Amino acid sequence: KQEVTQIPAALSVPEGENLVLNCSFTDSAIYNLQWFRQDPGKGLTSLLLIQSSQREQTSGRLNASLDKSSGRSTLYIAASQPGDSATYLCAVRREETSGSRLTFGEGTQLTVNP
């Protein structure tokens, strides 16, 4: 059974800092990995998608890397802003004969202080 772990569980930083969120998974037979953002009580917003054959993806101040063989991904946020405060979820996709399955980590709750 796939297990996804995110470290740290919570992070509080001053505005302007660069930061790294970590995600690890136990089964490297993944199809892709997706990073999401979730604001309190809201749905999930997709940030970055990395296919299993890719090493990294970038969008604006966000950069995600994937090392499939070691079962690790990192989300790098540059020049953090108070608006970045949210919970960040890492999820790995696996294809099974019965269908697609997305397994989530517990999330990192990020607070960026002005």
What Cα–Cα distance (Å) separates residue 66 from each residue in 47, 48, 96? 14, 11, 21
Q: Is 98 in the site for other proteins (CB under 8 A)?
A: yes
User: Residue 11 contacts by C-beta under 8 Å, 6 or more apart in sequence?
Assistant: 19, 21, 108, 109, 110, 111
Q: Give the one residue of 58, 101, 111, 113 binding other proteins; rule: CB under 8 A.
A: 101
How many angstroms from the chain centroid is the CA of residue 78?
Answer: 15
Pairing of strands 86-96, 4-7: unpaired
Q: Give the one residue of 16, 106, 111, 113 binding other proteins; rule: CB under 8 A.
A: 106
Q: Which of residues 44-73 bind other proteins (CB under 8 A)?
A: 44-46, 49, 51
Q: Is 41 in the site for other proteins (CB under 8 A)?
A: yes
Q: Is 22 in the site for other proteins (CB under 8 A)?
A: no
Peptide bond into 40 cis (omega under 30): no
Q: Is 100 in the site for other proteins (CB under 8 A)?
A: yes
Cβ proximity to other proteins, 69 vs 98, nearer residue: 98
- Residues binding other proteins (CB under 8 A): 31-32, 34, 36, 41-46, 49, 51, 89, 91, 93, 95-96, 98-102, 104-107
